[in-house]
Amino acid sequence: MDCGLYQGNDDEFDTFNEEFLFDPKELDCVILSHAHIDHSGRLPKLVKEGFKGRVYSTHATRDLAAIMLVDSAHIQERDAYYQNKKKKGGPKVKPLYNVTDVQNTMDQFLCIGYNRWLKIDEECDIMFRDAGHILGSANVTLRIKKDNYHDIYFGFTGDIGRPDRPILRDPRSMPECDYIICESTYGGKLHNSTPQDENNLLEVIQQTCVEKKGKLIIPAFSVGRTQEIVYMLDRLANQKKLPKIPVYVDSPLAINATEIFQAHPECFDKEILDYMHTDPNPFGFNNLHYVRSVDGSKRLNTSEEPCIIISASGMMNAGRVKHHIFHAIENPRHTLLVVGYCSPATLGGILRNSPETVKIFGELKEVKMQISIMDSFSAHGDQQEMIDFLENQDRKKLKKLFLVHGDIKRQKTFKEVLEKRDFREVVIPELGESFKI
Ligand SMILES: [Zn+2]
């Protein structure tokens, strides 16, 4: 289930990406819940090290993974190049994989739609259901033959999304399972506003771009968050509420991802499908410009016109958005709108706390631009939404619930809450720990 790349800065996981805790040649298959790099990012390394089986995913996940893994390979090749340039002697830094490894990986994909069982083995069927997290995201159920009369149901939540989010259908719970591996990102946490928050966004645009004639910089993940914001702006433009200012999507990956969104209306919810009756392109309006070239991006750095810039990376630790922030941060006319989680060590994580100064590209900068936060865009269900997702489970049938994908504090809180709700055995596994079921 999934094969992610660790992307944080913790020293504890410094070498985590380098080595698998098992032999890739011995795996029968991989089941991929969604395309986010922390779930898919080491697939090419798995293939490079001898994995020959199939990778099962939904169609949209496969298409997103294709562009995201190529992007990941490019980033790694570039990082290795710069690290080697800095390095004096010693062994060379090597990327985990390259674009050829990604191409080989894509040959091993086999795609299936939602809500149907597919036989993947004499004794095992698989089914994907909507996760409501990103395009193509799914939770996974395995139906494993125990004997002639009994099956074992094994569930994997992947990342649990949220109901009422733009574009995607709501999460759909898994069938009643015997065992579940469950994420726990927002254990102990409740999101403070509803997923669709157009008025807040409009207010920030009005204050920054109209009243102060400044730039509104929105760091956003290229896949998912960018399309949600563009769709929201598209709706505001159609309602004639959006001020007449240019909007730039400055990220080549986001542009490619938007094309993939357009190719997968089978993942859309009713609301956006209805919307497309009157506006066939929910990701494009008159003042919206997609910026591919580096020169185009650089022009935005120094331009003085009031505008909205949506750019990656979401955590601001790399990518074009870092340059936009570098140029705008000492000017109180501009606003940085943080729309997603940023791990504490990243530039985004630091700026979320509105510090007085910050170091960017080695230069100490005063933080004078306004910093606003809108957490309502989160693609991860909060604690209550995760509980709602698990509520249909038969507490007597469910023998073990394993908590993964969350820091240990959140996992412990979530475990306590689940136990109060009669989930019998909630287990927080150690890295590399094995269980017999
Ligand atoms: Zn995810």
Position 288 pLDDT exceeds 80:
yes
Q: Around ion ligand 1, which residues have CB less than 5 A away?
A: 36, 159
pLDDT at position 318:
86
| 318 CA distance to ligand 1 middle (Å) | 19
| 278 CA distance to ligand 1 middle (Å) | 31
Q: Contact at 8 Å (CB) between 133 and 123? A: no
- Write down how long the chain is: 437
The residue extents of the domains of the chain are 11-189+379-427, 198-377
CATH code for 198-377? 3.40.50.10890
pLDDT at position 209:
97
The CA-based angle 171-173-174, given to 5 degrees, is: 130
| 379 CA distance to ligand 1 middle (Å) | 8
| 194 CA distance to ligand 1 middle (Å) | 19
Show the tokens assigned to 27: 């795996």
Task: Tell me the average pLDDT across 207-225.
Answer: 96
* Distance between CA atoms of residues 408 and 277, nearest Å: 46
Q: pTM for this structure? A: 0.93
| 180 CA distance to ligand 1 middle (Å) | 18
Show the tokens assigned to 386: 């995760």
* Distance between CA atoms of residues 250 and 247, nearest Å: 9
Amino acid at 285: F
Sign of the alpha-carbon dihedral angle for 304, 305, 311, 316: positive
Position 7 pLDDT exceeds 90:
no
| 186 CA distance to ligand 1 middle (Å) | 12
For residue range 296-344, what is the model confidence (pLDDT) as tens digits? Answer: 999 999 999 999 999 998 999 889 999 999 999 999 999 999 998 888 8
The CATH superfamily label for domain 11-189+379-427 reads Ribonuclease Z/Hydroxyacylglutathione hydrolase-like (3.60.15.10)
Helix (H) or strand (E) holding 9: none
Strand 179-183 relative to strand 151-156, pairing: parallel
Percent of the chain whose pLDDT exceeds 90: 84
Angle between helices 252-262 and 59-86 (to 10 degrees): 170
Strand 363-366 relative to strand 370-373, pairing: unpaired
Helix (H) or strand (E) holding 211: none
| 286 CA distance to ligand 1 middle (Å) | 31
For residue range 103-112, what is the model confidence (pLDDT) as tens digits? Answer: 999 999 999 9
| 380 CA distance to ligand 1 middle (Å) | 8
| 134 CA distance to ligand 1 middle (Å) | 7
Task: Tell me the average pLDDT across 280-296.
Answer: 96
CB neighbours of 407 closer than 8 A, spacing ≥ 6?
none
DSSP string, 261-280: HHT-GGGB-HHHHHHHHH-S
| 36 CA distance to ligand 1 middle (Å) | 5
SS3 content of the chain, % helix, strand, coil (to 5): 35, 20, 45
Q: Which of 79-83, 135-139, 195-199, 379-383 has the highest mean pLDDT?
A: 135-139
With CA atoms as reference, report the closest residue to 403 among 422, 388, 378, 423.
423
Give, as one character, the DSSP assignment of residue 282: T
| 200 CA distance to ligand 1 middle (Å) | 25
For residue range 46-61, what is the model confidence (pLDDT) as tens digits? Answer: 999 999 999 999 999 9
At 411, the pLDDT band (50, 70, 90 cuts) reads very high
